[in-house]
Chain A
Amino acid sequence: MAFLEWLQSTRVASFVAETLWAYPLFETLHTLGMALLIGALGLINLRILGYKRELPIVGTLDLLPLAWLGFSVNLVSGLALFTSDAVYFWSSITFKIKLGLIVLAGINAFVLSQSVFREARAGGTAAPGAPAKLVAGASLVLWVGAIVAGRLIAYLP
């Protein structure tokens, strides 16, 4: 695709691909962002599933800024890594599966923000019902799937 070829010919792309420290730096940021994102979202979703009931759900929502920080770090670092070798990444089925899983996880998070999060902020004390638990469980599976797919980009088509 012409756009992808243009993208990897930009100065940003050659900076990431050719500067000795840029690629490992963005990889490191991508790993750090993953730990922050999964740490925060993991706990929020586990709490919805009924784990650690001593933690108020509304309190776990204070971790959302941390999750957003992790997500933003990974969006920026991920784009930088993608740009450096755009044609290759876009040709990878595993990469596209990873993106698909992240989109689904995003939809999941949106559903929770409109239901469980809203009720918790309004002072609701009731335990999340089966539908909310299903969404939270799916969210955990999707993020783990995204990590697995991300790691396997280098090994699978």
Chain B
Amino acid sequence: MEFFAWLESTAIAQAIRTVPWIYPALETAHYIGLAMLVGGIMLIDLRLLGLARRLPLRPVIGLIPWVWAGFIVNAVSGSLIFVYGATNFSGNTAFRIKMVLMLLAGVNAMIFTIAAARGGRTWLDAASVPATIKAIATASFVLWLGVLTLGRWMAYI
């Protein structure tokens, strides 16, 4: 595709290709972001599924800004890594599946926001987590595990 070839020819892509430390720095940032994003999400999901019940739900849900911060770090670092190898990445099957899974994870997060707000958030103070929320948490865990896995397999598929 011409667009991807153009992306690769931009000054940003050329800078990433020619300055030796930029690419490793982007990869490192992507890993730190991953730890915040996936580490945070899995922690929240596992708490919703019944791990560490002594942790009150409200402050655990309050960890979501960490997830957003990780997401932003990875959206920026990931976009720059993509620009650097746009023609290669765009045709990569693992990358395409990773993007689809992220989209699904985003839709799932929106469903969570809607489901969590129902009934004035009273479920946050209840003894047990509603089955709907648990189902959403399971989907979230599985989807992000998929994103992480496909990201790692991009170099091999």
Residues on A close to B: CB < 8 A?
20-21, 23-24, 27-28, 31-32, 34-36, 38-40, 42-43, 52, 54-56, 58-60, 62-63, 66, 144, 147-148, 150-152, 154-155
Q: Nearest residue in A to B46 (C-beta to C-beta)? A: A66
Q: Find out whether the CB atom of A62 lies under 8 angstroms from the CB atom of B152.
A: no
| Residue in A21, A23, A36, A55 whose beta carbon sits within 8 Å of that of B60 in the complex | A55
- B:33-56 near A, CB below 8 Å: 34-36, 38-40, 42-43, 46, 51-56
- Point out the residues of chain B lying under 8 angstroms from A40, CB to CB: 39, 43
B31 pairs with A147, CB closer than 8 A? yes
Q: Does B62 contact A (CB under 8 A)?
A: yes
Interface class of chain B by DSSP: helix
Contacts of B19 in A (CB 8 A): none
Q: Are A42 and B39 in contact (CB under 8 A)?
A: yes
A31→B28 CA distance, assembly (Å): 12
Q: A32-B148, A152-B28 are in contact. Are A63 and B39 (CB under 8 A)?
A: no
Q: Does the CB pair A39–B152 fall under 8 Å? A: no
A32 & B54 in contact (Cβ 8 Å cutoff) = no
The residue on B at minimum CB distance from A64 is B52
Chain A residues whose CB sits within 8 angstroms of the CB of B151 once the complex forms: 31
A58 to B56: give the CA distance in the assembly, Å: 12
The yes or no answer to B24 lying at the interface (CB within 8 A) is: yes
Q: Is the CB of B54 within 8 A of A56?
A: yes
Indicate which residue in B32, B53, B56, B60 contacts A144 across the interface (CB closer than 8 Å): B32
Contact yes or no, A35 B38, CB < 8 A: yes
Question: Which residue, B39, B58, B59, B60, has most C-beta atoms of chain A within 10 A?
Answer: B39
Are A55 and B35 CB-contacts (below 8 A) given A27-B152, A28-B153?
Answer: no
User: For residue A147, which residues in chain B have a CB less than 8 angstroms away from its CB?
Assistant: 28, 31-32, 35
How distant is the Cα of A113 from the Cα of B150 in the complex, in angstroms? 36
A28 in complex: contacting residue of B55, B62, B152, CB < 8 Å: B152
Complex contact B54–A155 (CB within 8 A): no
The 8 A CB mask of B104-117 against A (1 = contact, 0 = none) is 00000000000000
CB B56 to nearest CB in A, in angstroms, measures 6
- Chain B's nearest CB lies how many Å from the CB of A26? 10
What is the minimal beta-carbon distance from A43 to any residue of chain B, in angstroms? 6
Q: Supply 10 further A-B pairs (C-beta < 8 A) apart from A32-B145, A34-B35.
A: A21-B156, A42-B39, A62-B52, A62-B53, A62-B54, A147-B28, A147-B32, A147-B35, A151-B27, A152-B28
Q: Is the CB of A31 within 8 A of B27?
A: no
Q: Is residue B149 within 8 Å, beta carbon to beta carbon, of the partner chain?
A: yes
Task: Please pick, from A20, A52, A66, A151, the residue contacting B31 in the complex, using a CB distance under 8 A.
Answer: A151
Q: Are B54's CB and A39's CB within 8 A?
A: no
Q: Within 8 Å CB of B34, what residues of A?
A: 31, 34-35
**Is B103 interfacial (CB-CB < 8 Å)?**
no
Q: Does B76 contact A (CB under 8 A)?
A: no
